[in-house]
Every structure is written in structure tokens, then in C-alpha cells.
Chain A
Amino acid sequence: MAWSFFVTGLRNTYGLGRSGRSKVLPMILLGMMLLPALILVGVLVQARDVLDLDQQIVAYSRYPVITQALISVFVAAQAPTLLSRDLRFRTITLYLARPMPRSLYVLVRFASLTVATFILVGAPLVLMYAGGLLADLPVGQETGDFLGGLFGAALLAVLLSGLAALVAAMTVRRGLAVAAVIVVLGVSYTAVSTIQGIAVGTGNDTVGEVAGLFSPYTLVNGVQVFLFDAPRATATPPDSTATGLAYLAVALLLALGSVGGLLARYRSVQT
């Protein structure tokens, strides 16, 4: 029961089982996510010897940060299709009038959104990994980096979905939810990268490291840098164990906090 609910939710985020129009945006975004990876793979396979490459042109850990605008739009557009939609049409009443408990409804919706986001973020990484193997990059090194990248994609999916779901669950207005999520994700990333740029320019690296905690993208990249020594995507990744642990702790807190917030939000939903 929960499984079929999960699958339906996952299909719905990509517009499957819904009207033709609702397929357009997620499919375009998925295509746009894959396109740069495809080009990178093409270059890597064709020009490996010419350019003397022995690793990916763009590291797995940096790819999601480069494409963050696309990911933000996807999450912003699809979180409301799962959450605001049920509230707006009051379909939630029908779900609650069935055996599934309220908390399970929330967790399954969250899981659908997370996995949908993970597919979006992870698919280009899989493509790049396949390309890396085709181009005879060192297999052990590549596999390690790739798995680290997937871990980052999963963490990013959890954090983004949690935030977006929480915002989307606050409103029944789809447009409002979309705008609010884009603002939260876009503004935080822009602000963080601006502050980090200034921090580097003025020599205050610590300020930049702390700022990195405030956007999911820089946060996840920081965690990857700390855990796997992955290539950094920000000017000021955490460079001590203490800040690394802080990044890890904030990521965990954010994930748990947004799920907790969602559960609390749905406890007060009237049937």
C-alpha cells in the first residue's frame, strides 16, 4: 500500500499518470541536467589523450553545484505537485480516511520527492561514470569518486526535498509554493556564494566557511569535501575537522528538522 503510494508519487513528480502538460517541465529539466554530462562525456572519450586527462573534467561533487539552478527549479515545481495539490483539492481527506496513518502519508510523500530529486541529480553522475569507464579512467579511483558523488546526490536530495516539502505544505497555492521554494533555495545559494567570494577577497576564510552552512548546495559540497576529500565547488570549503563536523551536524539537523516540521505541520491538518 505504502509502496504503491510511493511509486505513484514518484511517477507524478515526472508527470507520469497526469496530464500531458505536467510532463513537460520535469522532462525538460531532466534533459537539461543530462545534456552537460553528455557533452562532458563526449569530450572525455574523444579527447582524453589529446588533453592528457586522467580524471573527470568536472568532478562528481561539483556537478550538482554547477547545475543548482535547474535542481532548484525542479524541486520548487514538483514539491507542490505532491503536497500542495492534496491540500488544495482536499484529496488528503481521502488518504486519511484510509488505513494509512497520517505520519506514513507524510513520510511516503517525502520519500517520493526525495527519490525523484535523487534521480534528477544522480542520473548525470551515472552518465559521467559510464563515460569515465569508457574512457579508461582508473577504475578504482573513478568508482570511489562516483560513490561519493552519489552519496552527495542523496544527501542533497534529502535536504532539498525536506526544505521544499516544508514550504509547499504551508500553502495550498501552487504558484506561491513554487516561488517560495525558488526564493529560499536561490537566494540562499546566491547570498552564500557572494559572501564566500567577499570572504576570500578580504582574507576572512572562516567567515566563508560558516556562510557555507546556509545553502544546501554548499553544505553538501562541504560535507563531501570533509568526508571524501572530494574536489571543492566553493571558494571556502571546511578545512578543519571542527568545521567539517559542523557541516555534517548541520546537514543532519536540517534533514531531521524538516521531516519533523513536516510531521508537525500535518498533525494540524483538518480533515
Chain B
Amino acid sequence: MAVIETAGLTKQYPSVTALDDLDVSVGDGVTGLVGANGAGKSTLIKILLGLVGATRGSAHVLGHDVATEGAAIRALVGYMPEHDCLPADVSASDFVVHMGQMSGLPYAAARERAADVLRHVGLAEERYRPMGGYSTGMKQRAKLAQALVHDPRLVLLDEPTNGLDPSSRDDMLALVRKVGHEFGIAVLVTSHLLGELERVSDHVVVLDSGRLLQSSATTEFMHATGSLIVEVQGRPDADRLLGQALVEAGLTARPAGGALIEVEVRDDTTPDVVRDLTVDLGLGLVRMQERHHRIEDVFREGGAGSVLPV
């Protein structure tokens, strides 16, 4: 059973369409939700929590309908918001216990769980200090702890690495991975930084202006895309000549910037065809390599704007 499933999910605000006819299915493990700022990531999370109503369409979380069973969903789901949400004059320890109780745990159980999750997220002695004095990294850890305290089946992490320096970011990503794989809690983690999600998630969903751009396993994103990058020399217009010859041979070829040519791989013989044509034209083959996609290529192809590749 899918952990999260949406069908035709649409959310319109008076001036902007935040989500546009979204069909997404999210399973176990860590799922990255990528998109530029304003792509609809936070809106999607709020709809999944049942905090905001959808304009059209439906969504199910752990088998519960978000429109009618919000409370049941919120009991099973942990949420780490993007913005600050910690009272300054309470210690992380007290706060996480309190939040555990707010999720329905009895006091003793909440205390025990809070001690566990605080240890897992790496808050040691500082857990007894008021949170107002915490660094951003410690605050993010405390926020993660409160999302995990009631042992949810799914956690929604909204930009957990926001504002962190590179080493804290690595720690946080390692934590996210640990939550998804060692604790067996399904994770939906958002980011506008693509490189991060390549590293931690099993599956990536890409949103752009509220539309689904792509949803597939991270390994597929990283896979050879089925194209070769070819560089030739010998004559000033060598790349054009070869390109012409490749097209005449029935292959799809296009300029790939500079003097490079990108050739789609049709079958195992394609590299041989490229080599033979190069030789026939009397050109020198400088390099021929498989092209690997990175997640950001999805954006390039989809024509999405302001995304920050790492």
C-alpha cells in the first residue's frame, strides 16, 4: 500500500495555483520532494496533514482520506515545519515530552520516548537548556525530535537542511537517512537543493509550479540516460560534419554545447557507428563517453526556472 497517494490534487489560492492536478504516489523509505521555492512543496505537506483543504482532487495518507480523517492522519504522522517553531524559554527535553503528550502518549511513555529521540538526533547535555540559546543546527535537531517522539509511521520534513552549514547539513541528511532506513519510518523530505536529495532518498518527486515534473527512483535519475557525448577534431566544422553524418545514418544527434555532440544510444552498436563514421570522415575522435543525468537535468529539460543545483 502506498504511504501517500494523491489523485488530481489541486489547490488554488485567490491569486496563485499552488498545486495543479497532482498525481503522486509515495512508498516506504525516503522520498525526496524537490522543487524551487513556491513550487508547492509546503502546500502539499499541509494538505497531507489535513491542515489545508484541497480545492479539487483527493489525497490519502496511510489509507486515510485527508479531507475527512485529518485527526487520524495527524496521530500517525510527524511533521517538522520549515520555519522556527520552538518556544525560547523551554528546554528541548521538556518540550519534546510535552509534544509527545500532545500526540496522546501518557507522561511516563512520553518521557522515555523523548529521551530516546533526543539521543538519536544527537542532543546531549544541551537538551536541558532553554531552546532560545540553541544554534540553528541544534534547533533543527530539536524540531526533528518533536516530529519523531510519538513514533509515527511517516514523517514529513519540510526543508530540514535549511540554514545549516555544510557539515551540519551532512549530519542532518545522515539522520534523515537513518530515520528512513534504520527506524523504518517512511520519510517525505523536501528541499530546493537537488544534490542533497540524490544522496539520501530512494525515490524523488519533482514539482514545478504545482505540477508533477517527474517521479521515479533515484537510481533511475542517476542512470546513464542513453546518450553519448562525442568530441571530434580535425576540421573547423568537424562537429557539424559528424552530426550530419549521424543523422543520415538514422541516429538522433544534437549539438551539446562547445564542439560536443550528444548522440542517443539506440542499441549496442551505436558507439561503433559513431566510431566508423568519424573514421570515414577523416576526423580524430577525442572522446566518447556515456552521459549521466543528475537530478537537475530534469529541471533543465522541464524548463523549470530558479533551481539551485548543488
Decide yes or no: A5 and B103 within 8 Å by CB, A85-B87, A91-B87, A101-B71 being known contacts: no
* A99 vs B77: C-alpha distance when bound (angstroms): 10
Q: Which of A80-105 contact B (CB under 8 A)?
A: 85-86, 89-91, 93-101
Cβ distance B238 to chain A, nearest Cβ, rounded Å = 59
- Inter-chain contacts of A141 with B (CB < 8 A): none
A1 pairs with B87, CB closer than 8 A: no
* A18 vs B83: C-alpha distance when bound (angstroms): 23
- Inter-chain contacts of A18 with B (CB < 8 A): 89-90
Decide yes or no: A5 and B85 within 8 Å by CB, A97-B79, A99-B71, A99-B75 being known contacts: no
A/B pair count, beta carbons within 8 Å: 67
A89 pairs with B85, CB closer than 8 A: yes
B46 pairs with A271, CB closer than 8 A: yes
B130 pairs with A19, CB closer than 8 A: yes
Q: Which of B41-63 contact A (CB under 8 A)?
A: 46, 49, 51-52
Q: Which of A129-160 contact B (CB under 8 A)?
A: none
Decide yes or no: A96 and B51 within 8 Å by CB, A1-B104, A271-B46 being known contacts: yes
Decide yes or no: A98 and B83 within 8 Å by CB, A5-B101, A8-B98, A17-B90 being known contacts: no
- Inter-chain contacts of B101 with A (CB < 8 A): 1, 4-5, 8
Q: Within 8 Å of chain B (Cβ to Cβ): is A22?
A: yes
* A1 vs B51: C-alpha distance when bound (angstroms): 19
* A52 vs B247: C-alpha distance when bound (angstroms): 118
User: SS class of chain A's interface: helix, strand, loop or mixed?
Assistant: loop
| B-side interface size class | 20 to 34
Cβ distance A99 to chain B, nearest Cβ, rounded Å = 5
Q: Mark B212-236, 1 if CB is under 8 A from A, else 0.
A: 0000000000000000000000000
Cβ distance B103 to chain A, nearest Cβ, rounded Å = 5
B75 pairs with A89, CB closer than 8 A: no
Q: Mark B78-91, 1 if CB is under 8 A from A, else 0.
A: 01010111111110
Can you give 30 A-B contacts (C-beta < 8 A)? A1-B102, A1-B104, A4-B101, A8-B98, A17-B94, A85-B87, A86-B87, A89-B84, A89-B87, A90-B81, A90-B83, A90-B84, A91-B85, A91-B86, A93-B79, A93-B83, A94-B79, A94-B81, A94-B85, A97-B51, A97-B74, A97-B77, A97-B79, A97-B81, A98-B75, A98-B99, A98-B102, A99-B71, A99-B103, A101-B71
